[in-house]
């Protein structure tokens, strides 16, 4: 049972990390598209919504990028870190003795040398 839980946590961590990376790559492409072809992107969108000005277009994109980054952090990166912390705690608990640290007087005379 313990091995299954560890495997599920590992798979969940891998999925969350990959989603974070994909989200940040998407965000980078969005930013790069606006930097490289901002005028072209504005022309395409202003033909669909002619009442939008360039300043509003830039503000909408900036706010959208902030929202996407916040969603990536809250939905993928922070849960990834939380799962990793749980995995580390479970691993540390596995290596600790059940009765606590062994004192020298608790050892047998053979172990005391």
Residue with tokens 């050892």: 107
Q: How many domains does the chain have?
A: 1
Locate 43 and state its tokens.
């022309």
Distance CA 57, CA 36 (A): 15
Residue 95 belongs to some domain of the structure: no
Residue 73 belongs to some domain of the structure: yes
Find all residues with CB under 8 Å of 19, minimum gap 6, and list them: 72, 75, 76
Q: What are the distances in angstroms from CA 104 to CA 16, 80, 98?
A: 45, 41, 17
Residue 74 belongs to some domain of the structure: yes
The boundaries of the domain holding residue 7 are 2-90
Give me the tens of pLDDT residue by residue for the chain, a chain 113 residues long. 778 888 999 999 999 999 999 999 999 999 999 999 988 988 888 888 888 888 999 999 999 999 999 999 999 999 999 999 999 998 888 776 656 556 666 555 565 55
CB-CB contact of 41 with 34 (8 Å): yes
Hey, is 96 helix, strand or coil?
coil
Supply the pTM of this predicted model: 0.72
């Amino acid at each position: 049972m313990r091995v299954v839980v560890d495997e599920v946590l590992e798979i969940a961590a891998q999925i969350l990390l990959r989603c974070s990376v994909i989200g940040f790559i998407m965000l980078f492409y969005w930013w790069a598209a606006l930097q490289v072809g901002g005028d072209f992107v504005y022309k395409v969108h202003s033909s669909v919504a002619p009442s939008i000005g360039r300043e509003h277009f830039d503000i909408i994109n900036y706010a959208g990028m902030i929202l996407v980054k916040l969603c990536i952090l809250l939905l993928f990166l922070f849960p990834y870190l939380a799962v990793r912390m749980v995995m580390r705690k479970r691993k540390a608990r596995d290596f600790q003795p059940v009765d606590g640290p062994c004192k020298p007087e608790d050892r047998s005379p053979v172990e005391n040398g």
